[in-house]
Amino acid sequence: MSTIPFLDLRAAYLELKDAIDAAVARSLDSGWYILGSEVEAFEAEFAAYCGVAHSVGVANGLDALHLALRAMDVGPGDEVIVPSNTYIATWLAVSQCGATPVPVEPDPATHNLDPARIEAAITPRTRVILPVHLYGQPADLDPILALARQHGLRVLEDAAQAHGARYRGRRVGGHGDAVAWSFYPGKNLGAVGDAGAVTTNDPMLAERLRVLRNYGSRVKYVNDERGWNSRLDPLQAAVLRVKLAHLDTWNARRTALAEAYTRALAGVDLVLPTVPAWAEPAWHLYVVRTGRREATQKRLAELGIGTLIHYPIPPHRQDAYADLGLPPGSLPLAEQLASEVLSLPIGPHLEPRAVEQVAEALQRV
C-alpha cells in the first residue's frame, strides 16, 4: 500500500508551476513591492468571486479577524461570541482587541455554532457574533443574522476554511457585516506564505480596514489613528490570482473525494460529517469522529496514511486562556469533539483511489 500524505502542497504548486512562476516574475519585474496593482487586482477578483462589494488584503487570517473587529470598534469591556470548538486564532483576535471571547457550544452534528445556544450568551456587553465555517461547512447564518439584528449586534464570519462554500446557494463572503479569510498555504485558496483578506459590503468598514492595515494612514505620513502594518504582499497576491482561477475546479475534486469517503465509510463504526440541505461545503477537511481515535490514527499511520486532529485542545483548555477560569467539563461538547475528531486525507491532489485505501484501512481497524 502506497503512502498517502494528509495534504500535498508541492503538488498544488507543480500543477500550476508555469503560471505561478510567470506571475511571480511579473510581480518582481514590476519594481513595486508594497500594495499596488497586483494587490488591487486580487482584491477585485476575490470580491467578484465572493459576490461582495469590497475585499481588503491583509497579512494573514488572524490579522483579518483582528482588524475587522477593530474596524467595528470592538475594545476593552466588550464581549464577542465565539465557537467553543475552533482554531485558537478566532479567540486570539478578540483578545487582541482587549475584548473577551464568550464561547458558545456547537451543534455536534455540524460542528458549527448552534444558533439555539447563542441568545443565552448575549449580555449588555456583547458587540459581535463571530461564527466560524469550520472544516469548510457553512455555519447556519440566517438565524445568527436574525439574532444579531434583533439585539443590535454585528456579525463577523471566520471563513478561513471555507473559500467557495455556499450557504443557501450564495457564496460565503457577503452575508455578515464582514468576513475574514486566511490564505495560509494549506487552506483551499492558499498562498506560498502568509496572506489574508476581509470581504464586506459595507464601504465604511472597507475604508477603515484599508487605513488600519496601513499604519492608520490614508495619505503617506499622515496618520489618522494608531494602525498596524498588515498589508497583503503583492507576491502572494500574484500567486493567489493564479490559484483563484482554479479554486472551483479544486473544490470540485474535494467534493468528489468527500462523497467517495461518505459512500465507502457507510458501514464503518465512525460518525461521518453531516451536511444540512442548505449547505454546499468547500470540504477543507473531512472530519470523522471515533471513540477509539488513538488506535485508529496509529493503525493508519502504520499503513502510511497521514491524518491530523483539528483540534486536540479546545481554546478554553489552553494555558493561553487559563485566566478565563474555565475548568475541564465547562464546555463539554467542545471537549468531547476535541477527544474524538480525526481528519482524513483530503485535497485537490489526492488520488481518488486513495479514498478506497483509507476506507479499507478503517474497515479493518
Ligand X SMILES: *Cc1c(COP(=O)(O)O)cnc(C)c1O
Q: Which is nearer to ligand X, 140 or 158 (CB)?
A: 158
CB 10 to ligand X: min, Å: 19
196 contacts ligand X (rule: CB under 6 A): yes
CB 351 to ligand X: min, Å: 25
Q: Where are the alpha helices (DSSP H) in the chain?
A: 9-15, 17-29, 37-50, 61-71, 89-96, 141-151, 203-212, 234-244, 247-264, 293-302, 332-340, 352-364
Q: Which is nearer to ligand X, 60 or 296 (CB)?
A: 60
Which three-class secondary structure state does DSSP give residue 146? helix
- Considering only the stretches 32-40, 86-94, 242-250, 254-262, report the one whose residues sit in contact with ligand X under the rule CB under 6 A: 86-94
**Interface residue with ligand X, options 46, 49, 87, 311 (CB under 6 A):** 87
User: Footprint of ligand X on residues 103-132 (CB under 6 A)?
Assistant: 132
Strands 126-129 and 79-83: parallel
188 contacts ligand X (rule: CB under 6 A): no
**Interface residue with ligand X, options 49, 135, 184, 215 (CB under 6 A):** 184
Alpha carbon of residue 283 to chain centroid: 11
Are the beta carbons of 282 and 333 closer than 8 angstroms? no
Bin 200: left if φ > 0, else alpha if -120 < ψ < 50, else beta.
beta
Tell me, by CB under 6 A, how many residues bind ligand X.
Answer: 15
Q: Which is nearer to ligand X, 81 or 355 (CB)?
A: 81
Q: Which is nearer to ligand X, 182 or 296 (CB)?
A: 182
Are the beta carbons of 174 and 206 closer than 8 angstroms? no
The grid coordinates of residue 110 equal 455540524
160 contacts ligand X (rule: CB under 6 A): yes
Angle between helical axes of 234-244 and 37-50 (0-180°, round to 10): 40
Residue nearest to ligand X (CB): 61
User: Footprint of ligand X on residues 302-361 (CB under 6 A)?
Assistant: none
Q: Which is nearer to ligand X, 100 or 182 (CB)?
A: 182
61 contacts ligand X (rule: CB under 6 A): yes
Return the CA Rg of the chain: 20
90 contacts ligand X (rule: CB under 6 A): yes
Which three-class secondary structure state does DSSP give residue 65? helix
Q: Which is nearer to ligand X, 63 or 78 (CB)?
A: 63
Ramachandran angles phi, psi of 82, nearest 5° = -130, 160
CB 287 to ligand X: min, Å: 13
Where do contacts with ligand X occur on this chain (CB under 6 A)?
60-62, 86-87, 89-90, 132, 158, 160-161, 182, 184, 194, 196
